[in-house]
Amino acid sequence: MATRGGKGAYRIVDDLDIDALRRDPKPLVGFSDITHLHLALWARCGLASLHGPFANWSDEWSGPASAEALRRALMATDPVIIHRDTSAASAAVTVEGTATGVLVGGNLDAIRTEAGAGLPSLEGTILFLEHQRGTGLGEVDRALTQLTRTGALEGLCGVALGQFLGFDQDADDPTLGGWGIADVLRDRLTRLGVPVLGGLPAGHGLHPPTIPLGTQATIDTAERNLDGSASRRLTVDRLTQRRQERRCRAAAAAVGPARSPLEWGPSPGTEPPILLLDDTRVSVLGDTWWGSGCGFVVRGRRLRCGGQ
C-alpha cells in the first residue's frame, strides 16, 4: 500500500522484481503517480491492483466510507459498483452505451508519460482516467491528443472518467473561448466511437473509493434502478482478480524465472509443465515454449504467453 503519490514512481518501474511478484502476487494500492506501477504490473505479469487511498490515512481525507470500500475490495469477492456523481465536472461527458472489458488506467498525466515507454496495449480495455489541474486545460488537451496520435487509444471498448479537479478556476478565463474541462474531454473522447461514462467519484478528491484495475468491468450509461435510485454505474468483477493472482503463481512455478519479452524458445527439460488455470489442470504436450508474462494459454501444441 503506497504512502503517497507525487513524482518518481516512473523511476521505480524498471527495477521492479517481476519474478518475485509472479511467485507471490500481492495487491498494490494507491493512485496518482502510482499509476505508473499499476500499468507496469498489468503489462509485465497481468497482475490486478487497486486504485485506492494511501496509507497515510486520515478521517478528513479518507474517512470510514473509504476504509470500508478498501476492506471490501481486499477481502470480498462481490462486485465493486461505483455510481456516477452528477455534480462532478466530467459528468457532462457521456456517450451512451454499455461496454465490458478489462479496466486499466488511472492518472492521465502518468498514462501520457508511459506512451512509448511501457504503456501496455489498451485494445479491448475500458480506460479509466482522472486528473488534477496543473497548468490548465491545455495539459489535458495535450495528453489526450498525444495518446490519440500515437494510436494508444485504438481498440478501446470504453472510457470511464473520474474526477478532474481544479478546472473550475478556468471558467472566467476569456482566452479559452468559453471552453471548460467537459468541453475538452468531450472533444477528444467522443470521436473514439465508444461508450464514455463520466462523473465517477474517483481521483484526487476526498473520501476516494477503491476501484480494482486489471479486472473485468462493465460501464453502463443507461439509467437503472439500483437501491431505489436511478444511477449510471461502473461495475467491476472481483473474482477475475483472484483468478489472475492464481495464474501468476502457477505460471511462475511452471516456467521458472522470467526472460525478456522478446526472448522466446523451447523450455529446458523434457517434462511438459502443468499449469493451474482457473482451477483446471492443463498438461501441455509436445513442444513447450516459455515467455515473460503470465496468463498462459494453450495454442495447438505450444504454450504461449497471453498478451505477448
Which residues form the catalytic set? 32, 130, 204
124 neighbors 101 (Cβ within 8 angstroms): yes
**In sequence order, which residues have a C-beta less than 8 Å from that of residue 150 and are 6 or more positions away?**
115, 116
Report CA torsion sign: 209, 146, 86, 89.
positive
- Please state the φ and ψ torsions of residue 288, each to the nearest 5 degrees: -120, 145
Residues in CB range of 1: below 8 A, 6 or more apart:
28, 29, 30, 54, 55
Distance between start and end Cα atoms, the chain:
28
Place of cell 465493486: 80
DSSP string, 146-160: HHHHTTTTTT--EEE
| Distance, CA of 279 to CA of 245 (rounded, Å) | 12
| Cell numbers standing for residue 121 | 496495449
